[in-house]
Structure 1
Amino acid sequence: MIPRTLAMIALGAFVTTLDNTIVAAGAPSIARDLALDLPALQWVSIGYMLAFAGLLPVAGTLVDRWGQAATLRAGLLTFGAGAAAGGLATTAWLVISARVLQGAAAAFLVPALLSLLRTNLDARRRALGATVWTACLAVALALGPTLGGVLSEYLGWSWIFFVNLPFVAAMLVLLRTLDTTGRDRGSKARPAVLSMLVVTTGMVLVTAAVVELGVVLGAAGVGFAIWFVRRERRARERLVPAELTGHRVFTGALIVQLLWGLGVSGVFFFTPLLHQESLGLGPMLAGLPLVAVAVAVVAATPLVPWAVPRFGPHRTVAAGLALVAAGLLAVAAVNHVPEVLPRLSGLVLIGAGSALTTPLTSHALEIVAEKHAGAASGLLTASRELSSALGVALIGAVLTVVRTAKLGEGHGPALADGYTAGLLTAAALQLVGALLALRLLSGQTGQSPSRSDKRGDPFLSSR
């Protein structure tokens, strides 16, 4: 039972994280075959992240109502259907729709899989389960761009989607052997579905406004955001508990994490595109340098438990963001060099700095009441996915504006100039985040979980 539970958790963590990054190296191939312009290409990535972020805050409650088995079965079948549809798609809207379907399924799979840690493993083995989850996230981060490049170059970009199907099949087989009766009784908690629909619509409109540079879309998105805030103040069943929105450290963690994702995610999405178009690399080699980021994350993570007690979580996070900014600036400084090797040192700095930002989650969860731990975990995860989507949109908008201006002036390397501008924008966001981390994340923590709870909670051991 225990090995099967760990295998289920490992496969789920890997495949849901893999789909965040696997499209990066294959995106240029998709764009060429389907004649996508840059805004449409961005939605291939954004569609997954927005659906994931929008549904996640209510997914945990719905998992409790529907039960583990029903949620996992429906989520896996939906995720597999999205993968098959994406691989067979011949138009942009079909590819984007498939990605949205996969993101929606992932939003339910993640809390259902994490609930297995509580119901199928004892306190001692939860630490092992959390470690397995974290390790699989790191492996997926490292392999995503390279695997996407290999599949695109040798089998075709459709296999970026088809590669999900063996994971889905294996997890469906494992699910039949797991004991999920402990969570199939149904919960009476009512999910705030309308609030979720309002805030998700606002997120989609704001993101679309950034991608399309549309003022009307942006105004509509702000309108939905205002509606969401007013509704939350009056609603009996709130999407976000009032105790969380009024907590300075928790809201600060959300803001700082959003700035980190805004700065980093978009750059990562466009890096393989630059390597292919400007450096003439194939899809596999274009995505390979991003492995340096993931390796640096894994290598620097052991420094976090050493740094936090000595310097505090606020200074550790601020130092990490400053290091990310330095890495982005280092890549920008050598972007004119038509070689990959000079870029690696900057990518390593980005990865090492990102590792030092992991206390954002653990510190935020330590200071919230235990009864809100589930909601806080969901919000932090949703914030990470939203920041990734907005990051792709923002850096894409910067790249588009600079590229259009350079082409209008008759300059040749317009994509490279736009990419440099995106790097500088991302670095500025990291520095703002570092300053806010020093200001918003300082102070004493509240009642913290017990040591055994910290070891057993995967949200306290990974971002």
Structure 2
Amino acid sequence: MNARVALHIGGLLGPFGGGVVSAMLPELSRSFAVSQGIAATSLTVYLLPFAIVMLVSGSLGERWGMSRSIRIAYAGYAVVALLAAFAPWFWLFQTSRALQGIANAFTTPLLLAKLAAVTPKERLGRALGTYGATQAIGQTSAPLVGGLAAEGSWQWAFVGLAAVAAGLAISPLPADSRDGAAQRPASLLDAWRISVLRTGGVAFVAWACLAGLPFLVSFRLDDAFSLSPGARGLVLTAYGVAGAIGARLTGGAVDRYGQRAVVCVGLLFAALAVASIGLVACLPAVAVAWAVGGVCAQLILVGIHATVLTGGPSGHGGTISVVTALRFLGMSAAPAAFTGLYRYDAALGFVLPAALLALTIPVVVVCWPQQSSG
């Protein structure tokens, strides 16, 4: 396997690991004799430590050697994924999910920083689009694999996760740079600049109110249309398939129209798509709206990545790590923020995150960092 290809494939592990339980929540609930709301916390338990550790994993990975850190993280991920597959108690399953998140914190941002380091600037937009496509594939395959596994035994999904992580641990990676300036890690102060936090705040909202909603869409598909786990997983793949197909085009859109414009367009149409899922009682329309959401997520993601990786000081490991951490913190907050609201009123459970997406647009228009697109 080509080293650059391994970087892109590695990018799918984060969304795959986070979303694999989305279509199997009712089965987890029955298997461990817990409520669906408690089962949904398996998303948060993975994503919260994943995001918190990413606040420092970029800088630590630069100091320890990015390739070494990535390989150790893959190996650890494989072990704890097997623990999830064989856990007899829910608390142990949750512990394994948290450990998966911690291991994954040392792959996602480091892979992105390494990709930026080995890609010429004039081709960075296209490379980010390809990376975004692989992440979309991860998000797509996760609910499908989880749902199909739940048709028989959900544990097989985690056996598959362990196999993927083990394979990535022995795959080639681009060599770490020997250039002194490139090796100098970004300082903590650089990583926590106001402009970085503002960009990360937009990522937080977008991932809480869009990319973090597969579990809520799964509930909607179960409650409104009585779909089986496999069928729920298939519908949820519309998000990732559409995102993967459109991801490379978003790189060109960023180069042509600029990061701010692309992020605003993504937020606007994402708000419309999310609201439609809660308001329209038609299965094909819900599937189409979720697919539109997948394209919007790629517009937002590539715009954010391009903003972070083309500005500020040289050393972007710590900076991209902080923004990615805030992105996944938003995703981890979604179940706690919206499950209860959805149970109170299904439509309101989708309309509120849609409104938050729309309200973020003025913030981007006024406060987005000024970056050159070329």
Counterpart CA distance in 2 for 1:136 and 1:35 is 35
Check conservation: 2:273, 2:289, Cα contact below 8 A.
Answer: yes
- Sequence identity percentage: 22
The normalised TM-score by structure 1 is 0.70
Corresponding residue for residue 369 of structure 1: 313
3-state SS, counterpart of residue 297 of structure 1: helix
Corresponding residue for residue 363 of structure 2: 436
Q: Does 1:356 align with 2:299?
A: yes
3-state SS, counterpart of residue 80 of structure 2: helix
Counterpart CA distance in 1 for 2:50 and 2:61 is 15
**Which of 196, 199, 205 is equivalent to 1:253?**
199
Q: Does 1:162 align with 2:138?
A: no
Counterpart CA distance in 2 for 1:139 and 1:333 is 27
Structure 2 spans left out of the alignment, 5+ residues: none
- Structure 1 residues 356 and 95 mapped into 2: Cα distance closer, same or farther (>3 Å)? same
Corresponding residue for residue 190 of structure 2: 241
Give the Å deviation of 1:301: 3.8
Counterpart CA distance in 2 for 1:181 and 1:309 is 28
Give the Å deviation of 1:88: 0.7
Check conservation: 1:151, 1:157, Cα contact below 8 A.
Answer: yes
3-state SS, counterpart of residue 34 of structure 2: coil
Corresponding residue for residue 335 of structure 2: 392
Check conservation: 2:136, 2:240, Cα contact below 8 A.
Answer: yes
Counterpart CA distance in 2 for 1:190 and 1:136 is 26
Corresponding residue for residue 379 of structure 1: 322
Give the Å deviation of 1:162: 1.0
Counterpart CA distance in 2 for 1:281 and 1:67 is 46
3-state SS, counterpart of residue 106 of structure 2: helix
Mapping 1:278-427, distance limit 5 Å: 278-301=224-247, 304=250, 307-308=253-254, 312-334=258-280, 337=281, 339-357=282-300, 358-371=302-315, 373-400=316-343, 402=344, 418-427=345-354
Give the Å deviation of 1:153: 0.8
Deviations 1:78-131, CA, capped at 9 Å, x for gaps: 211210110011222111111100010011123454565478x6859x969766
Structure 1 spans left out of the alignment, 5+ residues: 192-237, 403-417, 452-463
Counterpart CA distance in 2 for 1:78 and 1:148 is 21
Aligned AA for 1:329? A
Counterpart CA distance in 1 for 2:288 and 2:129 is 28
Mapping 1:138-157, distance limit 5 Å: 138-154=136-152, 156-157=153-154
- Structure 1 residues 318 and 173 mapped into 2: Cα distance closer, same or farther (>3 Å)? closer
Counterpart CA distance in 1 for 2:294 and 2:262 is 14
**Residues paired across the two proteins, number:** 370
Aligned AA for 2:305? T
- Structure 1 residues 268 and 172 mapped into 2: Cα distance closer, same or farther (>3 Å)? closer
Give the Å deviation of 1:391: 1.8
Give the Å deviation of 1:315: 3.3
Structure number with bigger Rg: 1
Give the Å deviation of 1:310: 6.4
Q: Does 1:37 align with 2:40?
A: no
Give the Å deviation of 1:438: 1.5
Give the Å deviation of 1:188: 10
Mapping 1:102-117, distance limit 5 Å: 102-114=100-112, 117=115
Counterpart CA distance in 1 for 2:143 and 2:312 is 35
Give the Å deviation of 1:69: 5.4
Deviations 1:315-345, CA, capped at 9 Å, x for gaps: 33222211111112222221xx3x5223123
Deviations 1:326-367, CA, capped at 9 Å, x for gaps: 112222221xx3x52231232233223323323133124433
3-state SS, counterpart of residue 36 of structure 1: coil
Aligned AA for 1:419? A
Counterpart CA distance in 1 for 2:64 and 2:18 is 26
Question: Highest relative contact order (Cα 8 Å, sep 6+), 1 or 2?
Answer: 2
Counterpart CA distance in 1 for 2:26 and 2:144 is 14
Corresponding residue for residue 233 of structure 1: none
- Structure 1 residues 304 and 92 mapped into 2: Cα distance closer, same or farther (>3 Å)? same
Check conservation: 2:54, 2:321, Cα contact below 8 A.
Answer: yes
Give the Å deviation of 1:394: 0.7
Q: Does 1:267 align with 2:225?
A: no
Once the two structures are overlaid, the 10-residue window that deviates more, 271-280 or 15-24, is 271-280
Give the Å deviation of 1:433: 1.0
Counterpart CA distance in 2 for 1:114 and 1:315 is 23
Give the Å deviation of 1:302: 5.2
Deviations 1:236-267, CA, capped at 9 Å, x for gaps: xx74437x5333xx333222221111211443
Check conservation: 1:83, 1:102, Cα contact below 8 A.
Answer: yes
Counterpart CA distance in 2 for 1:393 and 1:341 is 28
Check conservation: 1:289, 1:340, Cα contact below 8 A.
Answer: no
Check conservation: 1:266, 1:394, Cα contact below 8 A.
Answer: no
Aligned AA for 2:57? A
Counterpart CA distance in 1 for 2:177 and 2:256 is 42
- Structure 1 residues 165 and 240 mapped into 2: Cα distance closer, same or farther (>3 Å)? same
Aligned AA for 2:7? I
- Structure 1 residues 364 and 88 mapped into 2: Cα distance closer, same or farther (>3 Å)? same
Counterpart CA distance in 2 for 1:241 and 1:116 is 18
Check conservation: 1:11, 1:167, Cα contact below 8 A.
Answer: no
Counterpart CA distance in 2 for 1:355 and 1:179 is 25
- Structure 1 residues 268 and 181 mapped into 2: Cα distance closer, same or farther (>3 Å)? closer
Corresponding residue for residue 9 of structure 1: 7
Counterpart CA distance in 2 for 1:129 and 1:109 is 17
- Structure 1 residues 181 and 240 mapped into 2: Cα distance closer, same or farther (>3 Å)? closer
Aligned AA for 1:87? A
